[in-house]
C-alpha cells in the first residue's frame, strides 16, 4: 500500500494542525487555506500542503480545506479514530498531574490504569482510578488492550519500567524520566524531557556580566 516513508517531522506537525483545526471547528469556521494555517502556526504554507499531500488529496483548489473533513482525516492518520487506552507508571506528582489532564486528551486516548511500586501509593485513588501494584501490570495491560505506556518514575527506575512494558506487549512509550531507554527497535519511544528543554532555553539568554570568557 503506502510505501513512502513519512518523516518524523511531518508526523509531529499533524497534532498541531489537528489542534488548531479543532479550534476553528468550535468557532464554526468551515474552510481554511494553507495560507491561514501557516500564518497562525508560524509555518510555511507550502510545507503544510506537502505534509497533508503525503496522505491524500484533502483540499479543493481555489477553496482550501474543509475543516471538519480535514479533522476527520488527520484523526484517522494518527489513529485517534479508535479507542487508545494508556497505562501510566509512577504515581508521583507528575504522574498524578498527567492523570488529571485526561480531560485534555480526547475520549479515545485516555489514561485508564496507573501503577506504582511504593506501598503508600498503591490503592490511592487518582481521577477515579486505583493505583495498582506493578505485579498487576502485564495482566491489566492485556485485559484492557493497552498499547501505549507513560513512564513518570525517577530516572534510575525508568529502564526497568520500560522492560516491564515491553514484556507486557506495549507498542509505544512516552518517557518523562530524564534517561535514554534501550528497547527493541519495533517499540516506539518519545521523550518528554522538560529539564533538557529548560536547559537548552538558557542557551538563548542574552549574555550577561557573568558570561565566562577564556583568559
Annotated binding site for NAD(+): 90-95
The entry of DNA, a copy of itself, none that residue 148 binds, CB within 5 to 8 Å by partner kind = a copy of itself
Alpha helix (H) ranges present in the chain?
A: 8-26, 34-41, 45-53, 67-77, 93-100, 137-143, 155-168, 194-203
Using CB under 8 A as the binding rule, whether residue 81 contacts a copy of itself is answered as: yes
Task: State how far the Cα of 45 lies from the Cα of 38, in Å rounded to an integer.
Answer: 5
What residues does 150 pair with on adjacent strands? 88, 174
User: How long, in residues, is the chain?
Assistant: 215
State the maximum Cα–Cα separation within the chain, in Å, rounded to a whole number: 64
Residue 202's alpha-carbon distances to 195, 197, 198, 199, in angstroms, are 11, 9, 7, 5
Q: Shortest gap between Cβ of 29 and DNA (angstroms)?
A: 13
Stretch near DNA under the rule CB under 7 A, chosen from 22-30, 46-54, 141-149, 169-177: 46-54
Task: State how far the Cα of 141 lies from the Cα of 119, in Å rounded to an integer.
Answer: 21
Q: Shortest gap between Cβ of 68 and a copy of itself (angstroms)?
A: 16
Task: State how far the Cα of 95 lies from the Cα of 114, in Å rounded to an integer.
Answer: 9
Q: Shortest gap between Cβ of 32 and DNA (angstroms)?
A: 7
Using CB under 7 A as the binding rule, whether residue 133 contacts DNA is answered as: no
3-state secondary structure of 129: strand
Using CB under 7 A as the binding rule, whether residue 4 contacts DNA is answered as: no
* Binding-residue pattern over the window 94 to 123 for a copy of itself, x denoting contact by CB under 8 A: x-xxx-xx--xx---x--------------
Q: Shortest gap between Cβ of 74 and DNA (angstroms)?
A: 13
Burial class of 173 by CB neighbour count within 10 A (0 to 12, 13 to 18, 19+) = buried
Residues near DNA, by CB under 7 A: 7-10, 33-35, 43-47, 49-50, 52-53, 57-65
Residues near a copy of itself, by CB under 8 A: 11-12, 14-16, 18-20, 40-42, 76-82, 84, 86, 92-94, 96-98, 100-101, 104-105, 109, 147-148, 150, 171-174, 176, 178, 180, 188, 190, 192-206, 208, 210-212
Amino acid at each position: 500500500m503506502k510505501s513512502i516513508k513519512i518523516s518524523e517531522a511531518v508526523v509531529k506537525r499533524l497534532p498541531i494542525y489537528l489542534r488548531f483545526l479543532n479550534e476553528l471547528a468550535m468557532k464554526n469556521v468551515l474552510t481554511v487555506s494553507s495560507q491561514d494555517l501557516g500564518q497562525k502556526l508560524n509555518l510555511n504554507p507550502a510545507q503544510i500542503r506537502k505534509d497533508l499531500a503525503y496522505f491524500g488529496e484533502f483540499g479543493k483548489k481555489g477553496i482550501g480545506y474543509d475543516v471538519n473533513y480535514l479533522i476527520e482525516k488527520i484523526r484517522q492518520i494518527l489513529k485517534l479514530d479508535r479507542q487508545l487506552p494508556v497505562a501510566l507508571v509512577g504515581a508521583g506528582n507528575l504522574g498524578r498531574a498527567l492523570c488529571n489532564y485526561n480531560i485534555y486528551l480526547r475520549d479515545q486516548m485516555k489514561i485508564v490504569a496507573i501503577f506504582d511500586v511504593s506501598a503508600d501509593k498503591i490503592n490511592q485513588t487518582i481521577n477515579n482510578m486505583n493505583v495498582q501494584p506493578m505485579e498487576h501490570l502485564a495482566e491489566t495491560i492485556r485485559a484492557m488492550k493497552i498499547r501505549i505506556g507513560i513512564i513518570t518514575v525517577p530516572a534510575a527506575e525508568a529502564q526497568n519500567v520500560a522492560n516491564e512494558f515491553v514484556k507486557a506487549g506495549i507498542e509505544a512509550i512516552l518517557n518523562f524520566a530524564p534517561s535514554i531507554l534501550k528497547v527493541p527497535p519495533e517499540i516506539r519511544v518519545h521523550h518528554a524531557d522538560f529539564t533538557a528543554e529548560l536547559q537548552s532555553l538558557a542557551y538563548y539568554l542574552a549574555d550577561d556580566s557573568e558570561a565566562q570568557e577564556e583568559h
